[in-house]
Each structure stands twice: as structure tokens, then as C-alpha cells.
Structure 1
Amino acid sequence: MRFIAITLIVHGPHPLTGEVKTTTARLREVVDNAVLAEELGFDGFGVGERHERPFISSSPPVVLSHIAAKTSRIRLFTAVTTLSLLDPVRAFEDYSTLDHLSGGRLELIIGKGNGAAQAKLFHVTAEDQWERNREGYELFRRLWREDSVTWTGRFRPGLREAEALPRPLQRPIRVWHGSATSKDSVELAAKWGDPLFSANVTNPVEPYAELIDHYRERWAFHGHDPADAVVGAGSAGYYAARTSQEAVETYRPIYEARLALFRKAGLDPVFPTLEDAIERGSILVGSPRQIVDKVHRYHERFGHEVMHIAADADGLTDKQHRAALELFQSEIAPVLRRDIPSRPFPGPAVTA
């Protein structure tokens, strides 16, 4: 199994102290966490894309470019690139440039995005967002592979023998399709023979497992070898300590602060207690052995070979955050890497 640390760059009050970092400090913290992830041995680091409060992750290629300059080995992920909102030509130019600057370490996770603000900022509606995502990806895919593209679509002006520069380093690049609840992303991934990344954050295991099962069915329907399907899955939070009691005691106030935010927003939490979240959800809180066992249970249902954990401290102190990540890499990751086979991440297909 391989592991990536992901941040959506939430920018809000500290869940326990109420302190709010400056935007500059929060963005620098993201870069520092990426450097730490590489130092500790994570395979990848991901930056989300959101266009509304409480996130400040509206420009993943800029953040990832800075991370690329501070690191040398770790794979760089988007989580997710919202192609339903973006001009695919401009997105190609940004990410092709980043591909070179990172030495071919870029991997994209694409999706339609979510949130009401995108309709106001980009005039993308619930009625057309899936079709925009599909059309945007299919053009983006061609731009990455073809030196000259002639194309017509619904949502942007057509292209005639268009050349988009710079030409990318990785040819082709691997593109994952992020999926939370809809079969549209699953179908797009299966059609093009691309890997699927299940959000696996909000709900119990079954809805996500059903989507992954559907992906594998559609993968075979489109004529792909079932052995070639690749699945990744997320998690809803992470804190490991030597004993489960210590882990739960430390993480409980953080989780209860999260519940309070849900209720303040008028939302009913799916898991009303930390114990319920540990039992039925994807949150990874406990001893190393408990977390290993839980990932194994999810793997039995998903068959995934890549997993993400939260990159942010999320209310932990810096010391607690680092200690938990070190424990992950020293006692959890080695067991899961041994027990769950995974294919290597791709590298650049060309070197000049």
C-alpha cells in the first residue's frame, strides 16, 4: 500500500483555542507539512481545490509549485482539480508547467467540485456541472497527449490545430477521478481506463464500496483488464498513539469541536460520537495495531492500494502532530506496505 497526505487548506479558528492564523502563515504551514511528509517517507502530498470559505485552496498549481521547489522525491497530487470550473486549455498550461518544475512528480485527481459558491463565481450549475467535468476532462486529455488539437464542444470556443505549450514532461500523465457519491465520475474513470479515488470521508463504508464495485463492473464493460483497475481511498481523520486510550483521550476534544461546527451549521453529524466514528467511519484514531486492522477491513471491501490521511494538525499540537505521523511511518505503514501489494507510482515518460 502507498500513502499520501492531503490538505484542503482549511483556514478557520483553531478547534480548541479559537486562534486564527494569518493567510500567509497558513499557506506556509501547508508547505512545511509537505516537506515533513517527504522527510517521513510518505509517497505523495495532495492539495485540494475549493473556492469558498473556510478554504484558501483556490490555486493548487501555485501551492504545488512552491512545494515542488522545497522537495525532491514526493509525488504531488491535486485533490481535486475541479475541471467543471476551469478552462481545460488554461488548466493544461498550468499543470504542464508544474509537471516540468516538479521533475515529472505530478499526479492529478479530477472532479466536478462542490459548494454553492462555485455557481456564483464560475456560473456553473448543478444541471451542467457533470457535463462540464466530462467535456473538460476529455479535452484536457487530448491536449496532454496530442501536439495539435482540433476540437468542438459546448462550454468553450472550439479549437483548430491548436498547440498548447509547454508540452508536458510526463506523456501521458496519470489522472485519477475523485468520487464521493455519484456514478458520473466512476463512469468517466472506467471509460478511459483511469484510476478511481474514493473520498470515503463522510459516510459508513457501504456507499463508497458500492461505487467502487460499480467502477470495477464498468471497467470490465469498457473492455479493460480487471487486473489493471487501481483504487485509492481517503480517511476522515488520523491520530495514533501507543494505546487506544491515549489516542481517544487526545482526539476527543478535537472531534467534539468538529461536531459543534456541524450543529452550528444546522447539519446532523453522521457519527454523533467519536466512538461511533471509530466503529463505523473511516477515521483512524487508536493504537497502531487498531489502525492496521481497520485499514485491512476497508481493504477487504475496497481492494484499494493507495490511501490518504490528513496532512494537517487539525487541532493537535505541533509535537503531537509530528509524533503521530512518525508513528504512522514507523509502525503502521511498514505493516500495510508488506501486507497489501501496490503498484509503483509512475515517473516521467520522457526526460527532455
Structure 2
Amino acid sequence: MEIGISTFVETTPDVKTGKVISHAERLREVVEEIILADQVGLDVYGVGEHHRKDYAASSPAVLLAAAASQTKRIRLTSAVSVLSSDDPVRVFQDFATLDGISNGRAEIMAGRGSFIESFPLFGYDLDDYNELFDEKLDLLLKICQSEKVTWSGNHRPAINNLGIYPRPVQNPLPVWIGSGGTPQSVVRAGQLGLPLVLAIIGGRPTQFAPLVKLYKRAAAEAGHDVSKLPVASHSHGFIAESEKIACEKFFPPTQYAMNVIGRERGWGHYDRATFDAARSPEGALYVGDPETVAQKIIHLRKNVGITRFMLHVPLGTMPHADVMKAIELLGTEVAPRVREEIAKWEEEN
């Protein structure tokens, strides 16, 4: 069972002071967070690509590379790369470069993107949303599999037997599929034999169990070894010394962030009752003391089949020291509990 962190490098106003941290300062904080995550034994750190004022990481590979030479074992991934509006050649080159700097610890998490700012920015039509992803994923996988590539499509100039460099340490460079939980996306990942990441940020996590089964069935029917295909999840959360402290610190920025996005997408108002329901044992919010969070992750592994859990922290703007403490607790207290319990459970089953 792998345990890690994901972040969107948010620069929203501090809910107490109204201060907005600069993009530069938040980027430097994230480098420190990645270094700490490595030191406390976490397995993976993911950075999500966004192209808007309240998120600082438009180039995850560059940010991850800043921490690569200062870390030893933690895997470094996008979470996600918005492949539909990017050039697969450049995505590969960026992460192959990261793979070299980190000596084989880079991963690409490819997704269509739930945020759409990058499409007009790079000149793509949202009417081509699905076709763009399918076509560009096809090219990316060909580049991962072969040094020289011949390829043609509708949304990018053709490539005729050209080499694409640098080549990564890992062969092939790992590509995961990020999914919001649609049957079509999990079936695609299974048919391609690619690892799957599910964004579980609402409802009951156990509702995703049928999707994991669908993914594995699609993979098996396509002839892939299901036992070698990991399934990850990413969920919002925060850890503190006590559940009371965790809630007091995490609720205000979470409410702010969820209502900003909610207004854009037509969601209902996010209030304390919504928050408390989500952090219940069956909810999708992983907030509390180390034991509480560990037990929820164990429940997720046993009932959904997740083999990698990524805690998304912070949600909204939080003091850097609080985020660092949450990372420390995840690595030193939560992860050991989860790994020990899952190891026993797997032996028994």
C-alpha cells in the first residue's frame, strides 16, 4: 500500500487575514513539502497542472524537478497533466528529463482536465474535448514505447520516423490515467493496461468499488495481467494531533475553496454540515487525528481495492507549518499503521 500527497499549489486568500501568498513563495513552499514527504517515508508526491490565478503550478514537471535532486526515494508525478491541451512530445520530454534528474522516479498522470482554462489558452476547441485526449494519449504511449516514432492524427502535425529525446531511466516511463469516475475512462485505462487514479472527493468511497471491478475486468479481457495494475485514489484531507484541531484548521479554507469552485460549477453551498458528513467513516474527506485517517485508508483498501492513496492537502490556503505537520504525521504515524494492517490483512486473505 503506497501513501502519498497531491497538491494543486493553491494561492487563494487566507481566510483569516485575506492575504494572498505570491506564486513564487507558494512554489518554494511546495519544494520544501516534497523534501519533507521524502524524509518521512512517503511514497509519492503529485502536482496538478492548472492555468488560473489561484493555482501556481502550470508546469508540474519543472516544480517536481526542483525537488528531485534534493530527494532520494519518493516518486514524483503530475496530478494531472492536462494532456488534451498539451503536446505529448513536450510532456514526454519534460518528464523524461525529470526521470533522469531523479534517477527513475518520474511518472505522468494523464487526464482530460476538469478545469478548462488551458483549452482557450493553447487554442483548442472544447468541442474536441474527448477526441483530443484519445489522440494525444495514443501519441504519448507510442513515444514511451519507442525511441523513434511515426504517427499521424487530426489535431497535431504528423511525425515521420523521428527520434524523441531524452530517453528516460525507466523503460517505459510510467503513465497513469486520471479519472473522475466515469465508466468510459476506467474501461479505457483497463483496455490499455495502464494504472488508474480515481479522484474520490465526494459521496461514499465504497461507491467506487464497482468501477475498480469494471477496470480490472476490462484489463483482463484485453489480456493484461491485472495483478500488476495498481489503482490509486486522491482525496481531500488533513491530519493534526487531534480531530478537533484538524477540523478547526481545515474547515475554513476548505469551505472557501469548495464554494469558489462550486459557484463556477453550480454546486450547492458548502457548509459545516457538508464537511462533517464527508469526514464521517463512510465519507470521502480524510480529516482527523492519525488513527482516524489511518482507519479510513485501511477501509478504502479493503473495500474498494485501492493500492495507492494520495492525500490532497491543502485545500485552499493554509499556513505552511500546518501543511508540513500534516505531511509529517502522514509519513510517521498514518502510513506505518496502514502498511502494517494491510500486510496482515493480505497474509490472511
Shared fold (TM-score greater than 0.5)? yes
| Corresponding position of 1:191 | 191
Change (3 A) 1:226 1:167: closer
Q: How does 1:269-348 map to 2 (within 5 A)?
A: 269=269, 272-279=273-280, 280-312=282-314, 314-341=316-343
The answer on whether the counterparts of 2:235 and 2:285 sit within 8 Å (CA) in structure 1 is yes
| Matching residue's letter, 1:92 | F
RMSD: 2.4
Deviations 1:101-133 (A, max 9, x none): 221110111111122323311333443222221
Amino acid at match of 2:329: L
Q: Percent identity?
A: 32
Return the offset for 1:182.
2.5
Equivalent positions of 1:1-352 (< 5 A) are 1-241=1-241, 243-258=242-257, 260-261=259-260, 265=264, 267-269=267-269, 272-279=273-280, 280-312=282-314, 314-341=316-343
Preserved CA contact (<8 Å) 2:236 2:284: yes
Cα distance between partner residues in 2 of 1:317 and 1:114: 26
CA distance change for structure 1 residues 226 and 168 in 2, over 3 Å: closer, same or farther? closer
Matched AA of 2:182: S
In structure 2, distance between residues paired with 1:259 and 1:158: 41
Residue 128 of structure 1: SS of its match in structure 2?
Answer: helix
Please say if residues 202 and 236 of structure 1, whose CA atoms lie closer than 8 Å, have aligned partners that are also in contact: no
CA distance 1:257–1:156, change in 2 (3 Å)? closer
**CA deviation profile, 1:125-170 (whole Å, cap 9, x unmatched):** 4432222212212211111221222122121111211111222221
SS at match of 2:155: coil
Q: 1:24-73 CA distances to partner (integer Å, 9 max, x unpaired)?
A: 11111111111111122211111111122422221112111211133232
The whole-number CA distance in structure 2 between the counterparts of 1:20 and 1:11 is 6
Contact 1:198 1:233 in 2 (8 A): yes
SS in 2 for 1:84: helix
Is the CA contact (8 Å cut-off) linking 1:130 and 1:184 kept in structure 2?
no
Instruction: Give the conservation status (yes or no) of the 8 Å contact 2:238–2:313.
Output: no
State the alpha-carbon separation in 2 of the partners of residues 137 and 264 from structure 1.
Answer: 31
Structure 1 counterpart SS, 2:10: coil
What letter is aligned with 1:234?
H
| CA gap 1:295/1:31 in 2 versus in 1, 3 angstroms | same
The answer to whether the Cα contact below 8 Å between 2:14 and 2:318 also exists between their aligned partners in 1 is no
Instruction: Check whether the contact 1:52–1:115 (CA below 8 A) recurs between aligned residues.
Output: no
The SS at the match of 2:124 is coil
Mapped to 2, the partners of 1:315 and 1:49 lie a distance apart of 17
Query: What residue identity is the alignment partner of 1:253?
Result: P
- Structure-1 separation of matches of 2:98 and 2:181: 30
Cα deviation per residue 1:228-269 (whole Å; 9 max; x = unaligned)?
33101111121232x333433443434444455456655315
Q: Which amino acid aligns with 1:283?
A: L
Q: SS at the partner of 1:129?
A: helix
AA aligned opposite 1:236: H
Q: For residue 197 of structure 1, report the CA deviation from its aligned partner.
A: 0.7
Instruction: Give the C-alpha shift of residue 93 in structure 1.
Output: 1.9
The CA distance in 2 between the partners of 1:80 and 1:251, in whole Å, is: 23
TM normalised by structure 1 equals: 0.88
Evaluate the alpha carbon distance shift between residue 204 and residue 54 of structure 1 in structure 2; reply closer, same or farther with a 3 A threshold: farther
